[in-house]
Amino acid sequence: MMPDKCSFCKGKLVKGKTEFVVKVGDKVLAIKDVSAYICEECGEAYYTPNISKQIDELMEKFHTSTLLMHPMAAGELSLSETVA
């Protein structure tokens, strides 16, 4: 379930885009343009179950090396470009 308030500071959550950064082994993968609810006060991002699922699938592809990196920058890709 999506919270309507930040569970850390009780700030208001607004719909927006964020960058999801995750460490995979010795590499850091940054996924850009991830839809999320972001706290206006502290910037904490909350992901919908659908987005979490897309990120999970992306991580799986990354682990099995079937993912083609976007050429714009090493280790950076857009979630919207990799999910059909």
Nearest by Cα to 20 from 12, 29, 11 = 29
Q: Stretches 7-15, 18-26, 27-35, 66-74: which one binds Zn ion (CB under 5 A)?
A: 7-15
- Burial state string for 37-75 with b = 16 or more CB within 10 A and e = fewer than 16: bbbeeeebbbbeeebeebbeebbeebeeeeeeeeeeeee
Among 30, 41, 47, 76, binds Zn ion (CB under 5 A): 41
Nearer to Zn ion, 44 or 76 (CB): 44
Among 14, 22, 28, 42, binds Zn ion (CB under 5 A): 42
Q: Does residue 13 belong to the site contacting Zn ion (CB under 5 A)?
A: no
Q: Does residue 68 belong to the site contacting Zn ion (CB under 5 A)?
A: no
CB of 14 to Zn ion, least distance (A): 11
- Give the interface with Zn ion as residue ranges (CB under 5 A): 6, 8-9, 11, 39, 41-42, 44
